[in-house]
Amino acid sequence: KILVLSGTLLKGMDQDFYYRIILKMRESHVRVILDSDGEEFRRGLEARPYLIKPNSFELARLVGRQIHTDTEVAAAAHEVLERRVEVVLVSRGGRGAVLITKDLQLIAYPPKVKVDSAVGAGDSMLAGVAIKLTEGASLDEALRFGVACGTATVITPGTELCFPRDVLKFLPQVQVEEFRPA
């Protein structure tokens, strides 16, 4: 079982909202994926979600320094893993994504496409990862599928999301590799 908590809380909501939900879900053996920013993200992180999905800028804010290279992304992700999160998935826009656990470092490269709109691409990527994890897929399979979903979303206009036919078209074109930062 997986629960995705995503987005910024509405003004006036308790900043511990995600924190409390994550604790409850952990008691029920539900893996929680957290994709947020700001204070509610930091508080939610304290409850030890299974997976977090910051983008590079959010990860930089979380660790308190700028991040430019894949090596710096990996180092920052490992700092977050020390807070007892199992998986850090960093979205990097058109450069794909990096997935880090204590034992695994993967980088996924999307195929080159003409971008119509990037709205919802990160959310689509995360949804694809969550779907595959729910199905029992490995982390590399989930990452590949998620990046295919994100890629399929950027070719759609406005706020449209991906279509299954496009996801399946891009899936074999997504390159996933283990990497060892310098």
Q: Which residues are catalytic?
A: 123
The one-letter amino acid at 96: G
CB 147 within 8 A of CB 126: no
**112, 178 Cβ separation under 8 angstroms:** no
d(CA 152, CA 167): 5
In which residue are the tokens 């930091």 written? Answer: 42
- Helix, strand, or coil here: 156? coil
Per-residue exposure over 2-14, b if at least 16 CB sit within 10 Å of its own CB, e if not: ebbbeeebeeeee
The H helix count followed by the E strand count for the chain is 7, 7
